[in-house]
Amino acid sequence: MAMIGIALLALSLWEDFDRPLDKTLWSLSSGGSGRALVEGGRLLLDMSAPTPLKWAYADLNMALRLPLAIRWDQCLVKDSPHCYWTGALLWHEAGRAKIRACLGGKGAGYEVLLGKKKAGIKIRPGKWYRLKLVVKPDRQTLEVYALDGGPKFLGAVESFASLPRGRYFLSLYHNNDRFYKPGFGDDFAQDRGASAFDNLAIETRELTRQPAPPPSVRVPITFNRRTVWLGEDFGLLGGVIAFEPVGDLWLTGKEAASDWLPLSPGEVRQVDNVTIFSFDAPRASFALRALQFDIEQHPVLHFSGRSRNARWRLVITFSTGAIMPFRFKLASTEKFHNLGEGRLDLLRLYRLSGRPNRHAELDFLLFAERDRKGGPAEVALSLRLLPRACVIPKSPVVAHIRSVKGRGVPIEAVVVDERGDLVRGAKVEAIVGQKVFPLKEVRGKGLYRAFVKGLEPGAHRILLRARGPDGKPFAPAVARIRVESRPF
């Protein structure tokens, strides 16, 4: 039974699971052979059936605000070599922060976990434990008690994650939390064990009845303010050409192509071509999310920064969408104290990662740590992607075999200089196998086109080369054509 009342931190909630759950207060989610139910006065999350595509978790439909304290009783009622972490997940409404407080099954060595930090406490399957989690913006503490014969203090663990302001939501889960491949569940046909929960108590500064948002990173994103799209209005015969009609592509300052967002308490402001990041917590992080850009046109990142009372570094990751952002690293700088400057060849690293596409989607992250002497800290950062003169082809190119046998497949491209301006009067050619096809300029507007014949069904690679009116070569481009023999 759930009860809401007044407590030391302003508002409190108690849930003992003795009666059927209030469906407006709780959302139980399970799929496949996973089970989430109230049984015997306890919440049971059962993932023990050895089948794939299962999940089980419970969302509390209450929005919480820091600081807060959560207490609950928990038991690993069924263990397995494939049972890992089970417990509570506290997460920010926009997905910018997650705090896990968990007991580990056999697969996790029966450890106790807070965030990414292990407590050095061992638990036993079939035994009940009480966990007390206190969460503040700059400090989190988890205490663990054994309940056999009365509460007995076993130890505590602390974390110093910097948590952003805003609303937080609570989930209870077993092995796979709500952010693990939502709607698909566990990949493997393995017994994951089961956990029971009881006597949940929450004290928080604010308690508002509200359904938990669906699993996602709900962060506003500006993909790229500088990108332009050329289409049929420009004269293309289907498809598009996307590029940035600028020289330096600025990622900081008042002309930045996208916006920086604090992932922890902090402030962001712009001065000329510099973005200044200020924070008071021991650590802070900021992100420019999911920048989409032509990595062939702007291949190299130039960075320079200075800090006051802080150490800092940059990390660039592949944008993986909503489920696991920032997980796959492309590049990073060393850690700087005060001044730092350098270049990163993103195109080279991008190709080494095995990605052939021309338009990249990357996250840019700033991690900073305040000096021990304390006091406000800031990092002033200048970031820009350096340009090069290059050929930019149309994409995608998919054609039916009938058009190949007729006038041919249209290959179209533009040529841009280091300022991002279209180049007119260039000599452009397409090389397909051993054949060379010159591209003609369409009405003197900087669009070049050729019709390629003789292609068989399947995928074809086309090399596009260009020289300017002065004979200067441009960086070549690779286009890909797919010829289909069936309707599409």
Give me the pLDDT at residue 7, please: 44
How far is Cα 135 from Cα 141, in angstroms, rounded to an integer? 7
> Over the range 309-346, which residues count as b (16 or more CB within 10 Å of their CB) and which as e?
bbbbbbbbbbbeeeeebbeeebbebeebeeebeeebeb
Would you place residue 329 in the very low, low, confident or very high pLDDT band (cuts 50, 70, 90)?
confident
Answer with the residue of higher pLDDT: 322 or 473. 473
Give me the pLDDT at residue 455, please: 78
Give the CA distances from residue 202 to residues 66, 95, 125, 345, in Å, rounded to whole numbers and listed in that order.
12, 21, 25, 49
Is residue 386 within 8 A of residue 427, CB to CB? The reply is no
How far is Cα 352 from Cα 346, in angstroms, rounded to an integer? 10
Would you place residue 396 in the very low, low, confident or very high pLDDT band (cuts 50, 70, 90)?
low
% pLDDT > 70, the chain: 89
Answer with the residue of higher pLDDT: 328 or 220. 328
Residue 474's SS3 state is coil
Q: Which residue type is seen at 322?
A: A
Q: Whose CA is closest to 464, among 438, 441, 434?
A: 438
Q: What are the structural domains, with CATH classification, of the chain?
A: 2-209 (2.60.120.200), 228-386 (2.60.120), 390-484 (2.60.40.10)
Would you place residue 222 in the very low, low, confident or very high pLDDT band (cuts 50, 70, 90)?
low
Give me the pLDDT at residue 302, please: 98
At 18-28, the pLDDT tens digits run: 988 888 899 99
Give me the pLDDT at residue 162, please: 75
Of 25-39, 315-329, 424-438, the poorest mean pLDDT is in: 315-329
At 71-107, the pLDDT tens digits run: 999 999 999 999 999 999 998 887 767 899 999 999 9
Give me the pLDDT at residue 276, please: 94
Query: Half-sphere exposure of 167 toward its Cβ, with a 13 Å CA cutoff?
Result: 16
Q: Whose CA is closest to 171, among 211, 141, 206, 144?
A: 211
Residue 389's SS3 state is coil
Average pLDDT, the chain: 87
- Is the pLDDT at 198 greater than 70, yes or no? yes
Q: What is the DSSP string of 437-471?
A: EEEEESTTSSEEEEEE--PPSEEEEEEEEEE-TTS
- Is the pLDDT at 432 greater than 80, yes or no? yes
Residue 274's SS3 state is strand
The residues facing 409 across adjacent strands are 452
10 Å Cβ neighbour count for 53? 16
Residue 355's SS3 state is coil
Give me the pLDDT at residue 11, please: 63
- Cis amide prior to 211 (ω within 30 degrees): no
- Is the pLDDT at 183 greater than 50, yes or no? no
10 Å Cβ neighbour count for 123? 22
Q: Whose CA is closest to 60, among 95, 81, 85, 90?
A: 90
DSSP E strand boundaries for 117-227:
117-118, 128-136, 139-146, 152-159, 168-174, 194-204, 207-209
How far is Cα 45 from Cα 26, in angstroms, rounded to an integer? 14
- Is the pLDDT at 484 greater than 70, yes or no? yes
Q: Whose CA is closest to 188, among 176, 179, 178, 196?
A: 176
Alpha helix stretches (DSSP H) within 168-300:
none
Give me the pLDDT at residue 404, please: 62
% pLDDT > 90, the chain: 57
Tokens linked to 409: 């497949």
Give me the pLDDT at residue 482, please: 80
Q: Whose CA is closest to 100, among 92, 111, 116, 89?
A: 89
